[in-house]
Amino acid sequence: MSRDRFAGRVVFVTGAGSGLGRATAKLFAAEGARVFAVDVDAKGIAETLASIREAAGDAEGGVCDVSSSAAVKSSIARAVERFGGLDVLANVAGIGRTIRFEEIAEDEWNRTLAVNLTGVFHTTQASLPHLLQRPGGNIVNVSSIAGLRGQAYNSHYCASKAGLLNFTRSIALEFASRGLRANCVCPGGILTPLIRNFQPREDFESRLIAYYSPPIDKKMAEPEDVANAILFLASDEAKMINGAGLVIDAGTLA
């Protein structure tokens, strides 16, 4: 595997202020990409950009709430102005938590879909004109195994991730003849700050959530495990992969 697979390419990464998004931005930069990284967390995104630059990577970015169409358009425009184009869109930003269905407030339902699904609509629509101008332009979205099956106490999160998976497939088909690829990774649990939100509560029925963990030694993925899969799907090595949902769950769904 070449360590400069993305030399000269421009990559836009959302949710890059921590966890999987940060790992993804850093790996793209380490492989030669010019990275534009965004997050709602100003401190987190500043730390990510500093880390990439300290490692001699090329990175710009800033604060962006993907649920805001105006904020996304502004950030995409800044990325294109700074780097002269766009080759890869990596939609990593996401929120969620375990909660009983009857406790979900409408505001929380709306916010979950606004970030996890509508946010990807915003970034995709804003970036498409630029991605279509570049050979090998592509999109990699982060869905979840929660988008492939129901999970107790996760109805709003499951709905958003299932919608994202089929959205990705639709984009892959609609733009296949124009040279654009779109794929998803579908991870199980990842050891990031977000995992705290998915810890079961004492009042949850354990028999309904026993399948959340991988069946073999209950290990969860490190952020780099999933980030490496994102880079693979974005690379020329995956040129024949389009509309896929790559499961990364240590056999949980098997």
Q: Is the pLDDT score of 120 beyond 80?
A: yes
**What's residue 21's pLDDT?**
98
Of 153, 157, 211, 212, the catalytic one is 157
Judge whether 212 counts as a catalytic residue: no
Distance between CA atoms of 202 and 87, rounded to whole angstroms?
Answer: 46
Mean pLDDT (whole number) for 25-31: 98
Q: Is the pLDDT score of 26 beyond 70?
A: yes
Distance between CA atoms of 117 and 196, rounded to whole angstroms?
Answer: 21
Q: How many CB atoms lie within 10 A of CB 28?
A: 30
**What's residue 202's pLDDT?**
75
pLDDT in tens, 243-252: 999 999 988 8
Distance between CA atoms of 187 and 165, rounded to whole angstroms?
Answer: 12
Q: Is the pLDDT score of 222 beyond 80?
A: yes
Distance between CA atoms of 141 and 161, rounded to whole angstroms?
Answer: 10
3-class secondary-structure state, position 190 = strand
**What's residue 214's pLDDT?**
54
Q: What is the value of pTM for the model shown?
A: 0.93
Strand boundaries in the chain, DSSP class E: 10-13, 34-39, 58-63, 88-91, 138-142, 181-187, 245-248
- Express as a percent the part of the chain with pLDDT over 90: 79
Q: Is the pLDDT score of 191 beyond 50?
A: yes
Q: Which CATH superfamily is domain 10-219+226-248 in?
A: NAD(P)-binding Rossmann-like Domain (3.40.50.720)
